[in-house]
Structure 1
């Protein structure tokens, strides 16, 4: 029984840590205000800079918010 509970707890905790490892997309590297979950997001359609990838945790550290088209 302890093994099952321990396994459930570990699975639960690791599921949260992998969310922050998800890669997101930014329009350029400087001046970006939003991050995008998909490279084909409508919010990136007018991007005139290189579309770059970052980890979700890095984008949040930079103060970026999720694009309203994907919210």
Structure 2
């Protein structure tokens, strides 16, 4: 049972790596957002850019606190 759970967990984590997330185009942005309508993006004075979750993580961005 534990093996099945672990395999399903790995598959779902791998599936998340290709999901699109949104970041503010500012060089100072530290967060990624699950939707482009997130409250955390309301202060973005630059373009909102869709990127992959994997790319956001590689850029050391973390999930917006409004979406936790």
* TM-score normalised per structure 2: 0.79
1:14 Cα deviation after fit: 3.5
CA distances 1:11-64 after superposition (whole Å, capped 9, x unpaired): 834332111111000010532200000100000011100000110011001100
How large is the RMSD of aligned CA atoms in angstroms? 1.8
Structure 1's unaligned 5+ residue stretches are 1-7
Mapped to 2, the partners of 1:19 and 1:70 lie a distance apart of 16
Residue 54 (structure 2) pairs with residue 68 (structure 1):
no
SS in 1 for 2:66: coil
How many equivalent pairs are there? 63
Structure 2's unaligned 5+ residue stretches are none
**8 Å contact from structure 1 (residues 29, 52) kept in 2:** no
Indicate the residue corresponding to 1:21 in structure 2. 18
- Computing the radius of gyration from Cα coordinates, the structure with the larger value is 1
